[in-house]
Every structure is written in C-alpha cells, then in structure tokens.
Structure 1
Amino acid sequence: MGKSNFLTKMTVFSFVLCIVPVMIIGFSSYLNASREIKKQVNQSQHQILSQMSSNVEQTLQTVKHAMNQLVDSSAMSRVFGSALTEQDFIQYQDLRKEMLNTQNFYTNLEDVVIVNLEQNWMMKNSGFYQFDKYLHYSQISNQMLLLNNSSWVLNNTLWFYSEMKANVDVCPYTISLVQKLPSYSSYKTGMAFANISSCAMPSIINYTPRQSETVMILDDQDRIVYHNDPGMIGQYARSTGFIPNTMVLQGKSGQYQTEVDKKDYTATYLRSDMNNWVYVSIISIDSLTKEAVKIRNITIATVIALLAVFMTLAWFFSRRMYTPIQKLVRQTTGNIVMSAKDNEFDIISNSFQDLFTSKTRLEQESFRYLQQARDFFLIRLFQGTMRKQDILEKMEQFGYLSKIKDWNPYSVLVVQIDTLDETHYRKEDIDLLLFAVQNMIEELVPEEYRLAPVVFDSTVSLIVGRSDLPVEEFNTWIYGLTESIQQMVLSILKLTVSIGISLPFTDLKNTHVAFREGLEALKHRIHLGVGVIIHYAHMNRGLPQQNLDYPWLTESELFDAIRLADEEKARHLLQRLMTVIFKHEMTPQEYQVPINKLLNNTLVMIQESGVRLNQLIEGGESLYEELQKLPLAKEIEDWFWSRIIHPLILLFQERQISQYQNISDIILDRIHREYDKPLTIEGLAAELHYNANYLSSVFRNQTGQTFSDYLSAFRFTMAKKWLIETDMTVKEISERLQYQNSQNFIRSFRKQEEMTPGQYRELHRKMYT
C-alpha cells in the first residue's frame, strides 16, 4: 500500500463525497425553491398557530381550574347561600381572600366577579354591591341566558368597571369565563366571572407577527378576540376583509387564498378542540415570492462557497488523517514512532478515560438503585405479599441465597424508638433517626448473619440467622445482639429503643408472620415501660401462631379490581381467594377466622372508599349473622358476590364517570402548582388515599398521557419560558425542575428542541429584540 496511492484515493473520494451531495442539494433547492417556500411557510404558520393555541389553552385551562377551586371552596358554599350584606364582614373577607388567591401570575386574571341573582348582591375586586342598583345590571344578568353552565365570552370591559381604575386607561373588551352557580345544583341562581383583559392576549400567545403577517383569534361566535390591530377586537370576522365568509373556516384546520385591495393573501387557520376558537394567520403571497428569490440567490452563493470550503477541507484533512493511520501501521508492525503532537488517537484515549469515569459513576448510580430495589423487596417480604418462588428468585438476584441456604433458624428483630419526649429531637427528625439506627445495625451485626435492615412502618426491621448454633444458643446470641444495639443507640443518639423478637422460623414465606410477632411483642411496652427487649415466645408461652396462609396478596388484588369496577377480574379473584381459604382442613369454627377477616377487611375498604353501608345493604340482621348461617363454601362465595362485591362494583361504575374527571383535575392542579417539587404518582396516591396504579390509569384515560410524560412536558414548557423570560442559569433551571444534574437536562432539551438551552435562549431573545 503506497502512500501516494492511498492518499490520492482518499482525497479523490473526499472530493466526490463533497461535490456530489452539494451539487445535488443546490440544484434541487434552486428548482424547488419557488414551489416549496409557500408550503414551508404555511407549515411554519400552522406550527405557530399550534403553539399559540397551546399557550392560550394552557392559560384558559389554568383559569378554569382556579375558578373550579373557587366555586367549590368552603368560603363560596357559606357565602353564596346567604343574603350577604355589608355587615357580614368576615364572610366577605373569606370569599374576597379566595377570589384574590385565584388572581395569580399563572392565571393572568384582571378581576373575579361573583353575582348572586337570588340574593341580589355582587362582589368583585373593587368591593361589594347591591346588584339591581349596579350600572350594568341588565347586561350582566343576560349572561344567564348562555346555553352552557361554563362558557368563554367576549364582554365589554365597562360592564365590570372598577372605581380603583377610574382614571386609568383600560382595554375596551374583556375575555370572561362565565360559570353558573351553584355548581353542584341544576337550579342556577348566580354566576362567577373570571375576566382576562384582551390587552393581555399578546403576552399569552407569546408571538410577535411579522411585518407582512396578520394574526387573529376568533371565538365560537366569530368575534375577534385578538388582532394585530387592537381596534379590530370585538368586531366580527367578516369585517376584517380577509374572511369572505365563515364557511372557509370549516374543519379542524386548513388553508385558503383570498384577495384584499387587489393583493393576494394565503391564510392558515386552526380550530381549537377545547373551546372552538379559531386561530388565523394571514400573509401576502408577494412576500413569499420575495423570500423564494432570496433563497434562490442565497442557495447559489452557498453552493459555491460550500464547494470551495469543503474541497479545501477535504484536501487538508485527507493529508492530516493519513498521519495517525501511518503511525498505527508502524505500531502494528512493531516500528513504533512516537510524536509529541496530539492526534486523533489521543482524543480516542481521552474518550476512553471519560467513558471509564462515566462507567464508574453509572456503577455508583446502579448500586444505589439496587439498594432501593433490595429494600423494596424486603418490605414486601415483611408485608407478606410475595409468593415463595418470587422470594427465592429475589434472594438469588440480590446475592442472599448463598448466605441463607444454611441458616436454621431465622428470626426477625423489630427495633423501634420509644419516644422523643424530653430529648432535643423533634418529630420531623424521626426519619433521619431511623436511618441512623439502620446504619448502626449494619455496622454492629456481622453481614454474614443478617439481611439488610430496612426502615418500615416506623421501625427498623431485619432478618437474622445462624447455621452454627442450636436454638438455645441462637436465642442467647440474639439477646446479646439486641442489648448491643440498645447500648449503641443510647450512647450515640441518647435515645432509648425497644426491640421485639419473633419466634424462630425456617420458611421465609412466614417472614410476615414473624414481623407481626415482633410488632405484637412491642405492644407490651404499655405495661413494661420503655427500653425493653421482648421475645414473642415469652408473651404467648412460646406457642407459634397458627398460620392459615391467609391470601393477603389475592385480597389486595380483589380490592383493586373492585375499585376499578372490573367485574370479570373481581369474580375470578374472589373464586381464587375462596379456593385458598378452604384448602385447609379445619373445623367449621376455624374457618370463621379467615372468612370474618375477609368480611371485616372488605367493610374497612368500603368505609375508606367513602361509601356508606346503607347505599349497598338494606336494613335487617347484621352481615356477620348472615355469614354465620351459610354452611357451604359455594354459598359463602355467592353470598360475598351478590350481597357485597357486585353491588359495590356497580356503585364504583357510577362514581367513576364523575370521579375520574375530578381526580384528573386535582392531579393537573398539583402539577401546575408544584411542578418544581419532587412530584410522583405514588406520593399523590398516598395523599389522596388511592392505589397508585389506579390513579395512573385514571390520569392516562382522562389526559391521554402518563403522569410522568405530562409532568415532564409541563416542566419542559416552564424551562423554555424561563430561558426566554428570566436570567436563571441552566443549572438553576435544571435543579428547580428536579433534574439530577444539568447535563441530563441539557441532553433532554437537545433531544426535544435539537439545540442546547443556551442556543434556544439566544435564538428566541434575538427574535424578540
């Protein structure tokens, strides 16, 4: 392989690789510029309209959510049903505070007005009025004639005049969200107005039209809500001259051409699904033609410049690239020729170093996530919600199987802080203290004799075991271990802890039974005092609990199916649960224990779901008495289905229609208010007392997006807003939006916008300057 031969081929290939694509692209651009420029601009206009629609709808949705909170608030409920007068100062102040809370940065509200037609009063920012004496009484009253209970209407600003702005220029029109009140009744006696000044629309749409462009927004009555020329606001669409008749705006989106003053225009429109508003962008065809000519000339110049630059670079880099290749050949053949000058292989070496650093960091992150998964597995083990096969698989996955295979027996230690009274700690410190106790146990108990301790149910719980001690010596060893734990916690944290010890057991499937034994042992502190070590064997004479293998997991799945109103799955799970209960050979009296447990847990679930028993069950003898009279397993199963579960499913089906929307609105409100906090669907589920999977399913059904996708999209929207409107650094934005580090944020931003946050900020600030 000769040097000149290979270098020549590489140079010629580089020339061809540069010339052919540039010529093809340049020639195609020249031929298609005139034809494609219009299409591209129209597509761009459609995207702009979509962004405008998104910005406006986001504000309107925020206003609607805020108004829903106001009209459903306790202050509104107290005030609206009463004949409010000037003497009812406290009630007035409560409602006025709720109204002011609604008017925040995100809603862009100028005023909130509450009208009670039945009680003849009106309240707004400027104060309290007797409604029939208000100047624009009739115009406001006519708003009750609106067909819908909630409507967006363009109203005259003078109807809502404010004495506080008597000497201030105001916009002539106001965009009002009109909601008929009360919301919970079909008999409407009043209205609530959320008013957005039409002058605020430019900041809401967040777009500056080009010199030759006309942008307008039409409401569902074809009135102009926004226009480049503020004087056109309030007029009808046909008065603009660009819309010959509203038939051209049929459909969800489209384009049409029109002529005004002997000039041709192309119009792009987009109709909103939310409120039927139409967003229109109109631009002259002459300006598009000028752009095409410019592009043609620019394309020719660019092709020539690119050819010159690329051919120069191809020749230069072909020669440069051959040098490291030559060195690599020499090194391969053993003729090592070193150079002090850096080359591509130095860059590769540095890249490998960076890759190694990233690998180390990734391993650290993976180890942390592995610890979290391990703790979650142990918590489920203590809860008794895992099958035996799953337990063995997880034990092997986390490297415990080889350690515990010779353990005999096992025991569960449950450590709990007695009290924080008369200490310098506060209740808020309990989680941190439990974490400290967990670390002390890890240091004190040899790793070969324990699984990882976990913080669970206000305790630090762990499984210990030995293979080299008989039962008596094993118990003695545990006592010594627990005394050491107590002493270490007392000496370091100055806190007393009590420890419950379960009975020894040999099957990990019974871990949840042992955990409950430890908790049960701790209950004896009520008469023993604090700082005690209690063995379950001493409180029930060492007799192990009868393990009836109650199907907790199946019961939990059954309750989830009931809440989701899944009739087929609930029937199947009830059959499976009954099969497990009745597989044991017990006396009829012993069967009552799991059966009554199922009935009791079902009633608790019904109560926690907010359902009253009289909604399901008519009067008569108690359910427990009815259940006691059933002699056969099939009759018991049919009784549970027909008497409780099936009626409950029907009730949940009725509630889902209204409940889904309410739950979705609550989640959306939390996202819009607390997007800069560590929100999770699991955390919201705990606060709202719902199952996380159920909450996620409801949100996805209502919004068409998963919780995490919607939260990420909203945070991304706020990030772009802050990049344009604030001077916050990229690091500050990423931290506030809960990214782990700024690099993750930058990668995510580049993936969605095809540019870095800094480039996005610079581009958009240039557009608005």
Structure 2
Amino acid sequence: MPKFMLRLLGFSFILAAISVISIGVISYYIASGDIEEKVKEGNMQVLLQTQMRVEQALKTLELTSLQYLNSPLVAYSLDKSLNADDFFDIRDLSKGLYNLQTFTSIREAYLVNLQKDWMVSFATFRKFSTHQEHDLIASYAQYPNNLFWIPVKNSSNEAEAHISEAEPEEGNISKAIRMVFKVPVITNKGQPKALLIVEIANSEVKDLLSSNNKLGEVFLLDSNGQDFLSEGSDMDSNKEIHSLVAERIIATKEQSGFFNADLLGRDMGITFRSSSYNGWIYVSAVSIKDITKQSKKIAWITFIACTIIFALVALIALYGSRKMYSPIKRLFEFTKDIKVDDHDHKDEFLSIEERFRTLFSTEKNLQQQVRGQFNQLNEFFMLKLFAGQISDADFAYRAQIFGFPTRWKRLVVMAVQIDSLEETRYQEHDKELLLFAINNIIGELIAKDDRFSPILLDQSQVTLLLCPYDHDAQQKLHFFEIAGLIKGKVQEFLQLPVSIGISKPFDKVTKSVMAYRECLEALKCRMSLGQDIIVHYEDIDAGKKTMEVTVYTQLKLLEDKLGVALKAGDVEAVDTIFDTYISAIVEKGIHFNEYPVLMMQLISKSYHLVQEQGGSVKLVLGQKATVEHFLKLTTLESIIQWFKGELFDPIINFLNQQAESQYLNIANQMIKLVHERYDQEISLEACASIMNFHPVYLSRVFKKEMNINFSEYLADYRMSIAKTWLENTSWKVSEIAERLNYTNTTAFIRTFRKIVDMTPGKYRHQFNKKQI
C-alpha cells in the first residue's frame, strides 16, 4: 500500500475514533447528570407540592376554627357555666364543632372552658375536671403560642370509649395530631379562658402526602426529626433516614437540600424541605441505584451506537481514502518526469506539494487579504474624512475605489449617542458593544446608495447621509423620519434610549468635519431638553444666550449655602439647596455649554471641603466622583444623580465621621478637667475658657456624647469622692463640703441626699455599722 494512502487511512481512523469516543463519553455524562438533576428537581417539586397540600389543609382548618371561635355563640357560651340542662346551647356548640370538617376530615374536636370547668365534643358534654386527660389538656394553656399543632400517641377519651364499644384489638388505636387554639385568640401572657382542640387522624395527613413512589418515599417529621405519622416497623426501618435529616438541618441550618447517604449498604438520595409554618420537615428518599438505572441503559445504548458509527466511519474512511488518493496517484504519475531528490520518493505527496506549493497560493492569499480589509479601509477612510484629513481631490479618487456615492443634492451628518445605561439591563462596559450593534442596525436600515459607511467615533455612531430633496422643509422631514426609524429599531431590539443630532445640510463632502461638530453641539442640548430626543442643529443655533451677571451672583450664593449645609451634615438642606441651584440654571435659560463650567466651581468647592478636614478626595469620594467622569455625563438627570449620589452623600458621611471624632475628643477633655479640678471652681464657662469653645457648644457636645448634663456629671463625681471620704476619713461633713468647693454645707447635704438618697451622716453611720 502506498505510504501516503496508509497515512491518510490511519489519520481517518484516529480522527473518527477520537470524535466518536469523545461524543459518546460526553453524551453519557451529560445525560446521566441531567437524569440525576431531574430526579432531584422532581423530588423537590414533589416535596413542595406535598408541603403546600398539607399546609393548605391545616390552614383551612385553622380558618374555619377561627371563624367558629369568633362566632357569637362561642363568645356567649364561654361566660356561662353550662350543665346538662342547657341542651340547646350544647347542641349548637357541638354542631359548630362538627361543621369544622370542611376540607380535612376531623376525628374529634373539643371546646374546653378552663374557667367554667366544662367541655363539649362532637357527641358529648361533661365536666372538664372529670376528663381522663385533664392534666395534659390543662398544660396546653402554658404553651407560649396561641395556636400550635401537637402530635399525640393515642386518641382522646371519647374516641377510646367508642373504640372500646366496638371491641377492637389492643394496639389498633391510631395516632393523631392535635390543633390547639387558645381563647381568646389574641391574649396577653395570662391564663386563657378556653381551649379549642381539634384532632386529625394521622391517616388523614398521610393521604395528603405524595404517593408517587417513582420519585422515592415521602416522610413527614416534626422539628425534632421524629416521624410522628409512622408506626411499628415502618418507624424503625426509616429511623436512620430521619436522624440523618435532623442532623443535617441542625449542622447546616439549611431549609431545603439534597444529599447522598449510605444506609444499610444502600446508596440513597435524600431530599428534604423544612416548613417555616409549623417546623415540620418533609423528606423524600430514593435509591441512587434506581436513579442511575436509566443512566446504565444510556451507557449501553451510547456504546452500541458509537461502535456502529465507528464501524461505518472506518468503512467510509477506507473507501474515501482510496478515492481521495486516486487523483494524487494520477497527479504523481503526471509529474513523474520532473526531477526530484531521492528522499522525495519516500512520500509521493510531499514531492507534488514541493513542486506546486507556490504556483497558486500567492494570488489567492492576496485576494483574501484585500477582501478582508476592504471594510476596514472604508471605515478608516471615513474616520480620516471626519478628522478633516481628506481633500476634495483625494475623495474623488478614493470614492471610486471604495464604491462611495459621487452624486448628491445635499449632505448631512447624523450622530447617535446612548443617553444613559441607568434603569436598563446593561452595564457601563457594554457601551462599546451597544454602539457597534447600533452601527449594524443603521447599516441594515439605510440603503447603501443613501449613505456612506457608518462608523463609530468616540462615544457616537456617525453616518454621512445623502438627501434626494432640494427644499429645506422636505430635507428636514426626510432626515427626521430616518432618525425616528433608527430610534424605533434601537428601542425594539436593544431597549435602549438614544438621542440623535442632525447637522445643517451642506454641499461639499469635506465639510463633514464641521457637520460632525454641529451634531455634537446639538446633542448637548439634552442638558435642558432631556434625553431620548431628535435635534437639528439649526433649531438650537438661534437659541444661544449670554448668562446674566445676576444669575451668576445667585448661583454663587447658592454654592456658599450648599457648602454650609454640607459642613452641617444636613442632608435635607443639601437636597433642597441643590434643587434650587439646578432650577436657577434651567429657568434662567443658561446655554447648555455653560453647565459644566458653572458646575465645575461647585465640584471644586466640594473637593476643598474634604481637603479642609484632612481627607483625601480620591479615598473619600471614590473612582466615580472625578471630573473626567462628570464631563462624560450627557443629561441633566444623570448630572443630578451624580452630584447627590457620588459627591454629596460621601462628603456628608465623611464630615459626620470627622465631627463625631471631634465631639468625643472634646467630651474626654471636659471629663479630664472635672477629675483634675473637682475641688475647685469648675463650670461650663471655665471649660470653655480653657478649651477655646463657646459654653453652649460644649454643653451640647457633652450631652450628646455622655448622655448627661455637665453639671449633673460634676455633681455625681463630687458625691462619689464625698462617699470615699465619708468611708475612709473622720472629717466633718462641713469640712468635706468645703474641700469639694461647696461654700454652703446645706447645699452639699441637699445635693448628696438627692444623688445618694440619704444624708452624709446617715451614709457614714450605715457604712460603719456594716464594718462592725
């Protein structure tokens, strides 16, 4: 067999084997993983549906019970001491209990009057004190909640009585769940007047659990991990599962989840959900072997399919290799007269490749490069045109090469800018990609004969358009319709607000650079007109005004007021003054070109406030509060949001932190003065003189930081010193008063009694008595 044909055949086999094996392995793992995930999701959905079904039944019972308790009959009866003679009242109460069986079948219900010592059930009336479960039922009144559910092992006495009449076998009494309502429903922590107890057989709750055994067995546990619905052998066989679920919830605090566990040699997948309604835990356990049973079938099917595919590919590769080699053989025979080196005979294809390598490749490569770069050259030409680097002669020459239009009546430049990415699903880093998408939309909407190549320039999408009309009104309407169509398509496909600026019509293509500037100038009017607009430059050209000196003076005053409000940390005042500042700019008709200049002064003053307090502008305000970021804002709404969110809020927080630190330092200094000069004349005025602050300011700061007035703190400290002297010295009361700078002993005694709640003499007497 020829060497090249052998290589071709071997390569085909290897390529087929890698592809088939890779596809088979990947398909198996993906399919098996999907099956396991679907089972997990199915189990979780089953648990959720089961939980909703059970809780719906319980809540329905709670609602009907609440309606029964709120009925006039119950309210009237709770205040009466009923006896067997009150037949009609007892009958109505019993009938009301029986009517509670709305959605869930109830096996028994009791209305127990704790204060009047009687109880009513479906069919009986008796003294509550004679009931066999009197102590258990009475203990329910001590539970903290007004409504709670309690699993019980045995049924009530009345149920037991009925069962005994039917003479059932011992041990057949099923367990039940009790709902206990305290009456009145909304009470203080005191003793309730009565209890409503409703029993539901466990079998009723079991009927509400999912019976879909394909997705595993469903259990219902209480908050302690006990299966209160199962009995006998069922409870023992699943006890290990219940313990694992309880341990998992306690350890991880998860409300729901899935985990694998090895139980008695069986690998089980356990799904659980914890109910916030009553703390019950819903558990589903399914054998991992059952889950992976389908995966094994998929593995065998995948293996058989891959084997068949590989065999077919091998046959096709053998047949195809021969077919593919036949022209090579003919070509090799055709070129056998060409002299080659001896080593070329080892591989016939290498010999052919060497002879014809450069014959056809050069021209093809050049053509591909030209085609690939043609669009880039078009865009580069338009960039140079809008940069003013193309002359009329250059355009006339290159327009034919690039296929640009050469005849038109008038030209305009249209620039599209994104207004804002706020309240959209996009982020700032998506802006370039969005502009590229807008560029493609415009390229599809406008025919090639009506435009030059659309390009992206800075933060704008720019297009040079041709106008087929002569009259100005027709031209304006034509370009407005095109702009409206573009806005509509951008909103439809990208859900993005954009504004479009249109230049004045012009004749020579070299005036495009001036027209582009006109578009940017038109788009600046978003400062006053808002966003999502279409603006012609000629509509705003006549509206330029010069700012009056009075307006500038007003803005300067507002800037000063804003600085004072920032220093004071008054957020409401800052917002109010800044809104007035913005209103003054808008209402006075200041041209939008002057907005950044005016606001730069306000930004500078804000930066200065931070620096005055020793803060770093970059650290305090962050990356977005820079002048560069501000100058990129294009709408008045975004500017207002930037000032309030990125500038004012961080400055207020920083200044408040600085003020709090200063307050604490001042308070500590005042405390130090009290401790050092308690035996001298010390007052707020004295502290203010020493610390160079106003007494009122010191009083406010001390009250804020210490939560006590300065005079009260001074008196408390002096009285603590007085108690120490009364305990450890034999000084007279008058001498202690004098040492504490009290000129009047009576005033000292009055202050001591007010703070210590006794006279100094009595305090010393009691202390000496304790020592003895």
TM-score (ref. length: structure 1): 0.34
- TM-score if structure 2 supplies the norm length? 0.33
Larger Rg over CA atoms: 2
